[in-house]
Amino acid sequence: MLDIKKIRVDFPILKQQINGKPLVYLDNAATSQKPQVVIDSIVNYYTTINANIHRGVHTLSQKATDAFEQAREKLQKHFNAKKSYEIIFTAGTTHSINIVATGFTSLLQKGDELIVSAMEHHSNIVPWQMLCERTGAVLKIIPMNSAGELLMNEYGKLLSKKTKLVFVNHVSNALGTINPIKEIIDKAHQVGAAVLIDGAQSCPHIKSDVQALDVDFYVASAHKLCGPTGVGILYGKEAWLNKLPPYQGGGEMIKEVTFEKTTYADLPHKFEAGTPNIAGVIAFGTAIDYLNNLGFDNIATYENELLQYATKKLLQIEGLKIYGTSKHKTSVISFNIDKIHPYDIGTIIDKLGVEVRTGHHCAQPIMDFYKIPGTVRASFSFYNTFEEVDVLYNALIRAKTMLS
């Protein structure tokens, strides 16, 4: 059982007032708030051990390197990677996907097929479209039903010997749907295709075991997991990471450089050119510790209670329609009220201190599927309360009265 009152004290930003009202932060699917330990971790790094890593013989550099590599081991343990060097630090999910999509350029041929789902974030669509343009590979789409669930039979029909890669988000940021990724991975492997799972939206709610999943690539962003912005991971199976060419050239990623020929460093350095976000990586490790101390099972249980309560409550509002009604979903509620534009609702409830996302949530194909311009999205974290759900409800009633 989580002590939410106590947990909220860890998050200094939550004490704030917005437009004269207590902040009700319900945009966690866009980014999470940061506990004091994560903020302290960044400040401590810069106040006590700031130095460049992997380069110096001096004490500070060694301390910084140790802290950086400890973070890698924390991430390895968290995701149960076999080797710590299978965890590559990147700037985030988008960066991680681009590393893989660019790396596949030389591995594909015209007519090869790639499979994506109908409910992806743009960052798990566009890099692959660019890959298709470069290679002549063809993109196939797993359709979904109106509840926001993938049609797994259709997925089965898309798979063939031509399929080289499948990339699907574990959880949809716009709908909250938890996809059956184990089944997706196993079916892809039966035809010899590799799988990338976009874990950006699942990571704050579900602890994934990359070995149990047998996934080839798994990507995530620290900022959705109570960590800082500008940091993320690319997990890849060792054999795949060795097969892919480096994404960027520069310092740190080489073994030997002459003007005739350069040889690349071993993993993970091959994919970590240049000075990384050292403070961010260390703070990412702190965030992972923080969440594991709370316990992912406890987090999921509490967030599911919030979701059930909020769903029931919001459905009492006449004319409110929820998009994404899968049985398996995280604490995200995407909705519209009558014909009111989501932006207008967002603007009014912001005046009441309630912060939600409005728009297409970087997932335009989903909005096209439902034939809507966008939704209002309330996304809940473990530090949100039942009282905040009530504040949201009252704010929506107020907005509806004003706008209709």
Ligand X SMILES: *Cc1c(COP(=O)(O)O)cnc(C)c1O
Tell me if 201 contacts ligand X by CB under 6 A: yes
Among 163, 169, 286, 325, binds ligand X (CB under 6 A): 169
Q: Is residue 76 part of the contact set for ligand X (CB under 6 A)?
A: no
27 lies in the site for ligand X, by CB under 6 A: no
Residues in the interface with ligand X (CB under 6 A) total: 14
Smallest separation, CB 146 to ligand X (Å) = 20
Residue 64 sits in the site that holds ligand X (CB under 6 A): no
Piece of the chain touching ligand X by CB under 6 A; list 8-16, 91-99, 287-295, 383-391: 91-99
Decide if residue 277 touches ligand X (CB under 6 A).
no
Kindly indicate which of the ranges 58-66, 75-83, 194-202, 247-255 contains the residues binding ligand X, using the contact rule CB under 6 A.
194-202
**Among residues 200 and 233, whose Cβ is nearest to ligand X?**
200
357 binds ligand X (CB under 6 A): no
Q: Which stretch binds ligand X (CB under 6 A): 184-192, 220-228, 271-279, 304-312?
A: 220-228
- Minimum distance, C-beta of residue 153 to ligand X, in the bound complex (Å): 24
Does residue 113 touch ligand X according to CB under 6 A? Answer: no
Asked if 362 is an active-site residue, the reply is yes
Question: Site for ligand X (CB under 6 A): which residue of 117, 124, 163, 381?
Answer: 124
Conformation bin of residue 130: beta by default, left when phi > 0, alpha when psi is -120 to 50: alpha
Cβ 223 to ligand X shortest distance, Å: 6
* Residue 123 contacts ligand X per CB under 6 A: yes
- Distance of closest approach, residue 128 Cβ to ligand X, in angstroms: 13
Cβ-based nearer residue to ligand X, 49 or 220: 220
Contact call for residue 163 and ligand X (CB under 6 A): no
Q: What is the 3-state secondary structure (H, E, C) of the chain?
A: CCCHHHHHHCCHHHHCEECCEECEECECCCCCCCCHHHHHHHHHHHHHHCCCCCCCCCHHHHHHHHHHHHHHHHHHHHHCCCCHHHEEEECCHHHHHHHHHHHHHHHCCCCCEEEEECCCCHHHCHHHHHHHHHHCCEEEEECECCCCCECHHHHHHHCCCCEEEEEEECECCCCCEECCHHHHHHHHHHCCCEEEEECCCCCCCCCCCHHHHCCCEEEEEHHHHCCCCCCEEEEECHHHHHHCCCCCCCCCCEEEECCCCEEECCCCHHHCCCCCCHHHHHHHHHHHHHHHHHCHHHHHHHHHHHHHHHHHHHCCCCCEEEECCCCCECCEEEEEECCCCHHHHHHHHHHCCEECEEECCCCHHHHHHHCCCCEEEEECCCCCCHHHHHHHHHHHHHHHHHHC
Q: Is 360 in the site for ligand X (CB under 6 A)?
A: no
Cα torsion 277, 280, 282, 285: sign: negative
Using the rule CB under 6 A, which residue among 76, 94, 117, 286 binds ligand X? 94
Among positions 65, 93, 102, 177, the unique one binding ligand X when judged by CB under 6 A:
93
Task: Determine, following the binding rule CB under 6 A, whether residue 92 of this chain makes contact with ligand X.
Answer: yes
Catalytic residue positions, numbered = 362
- What residues make contact with ligand X under the rule CB under 6 A? 92-94, 121, 123-124, 169, 173, 198, 200-201, 221, 223-224
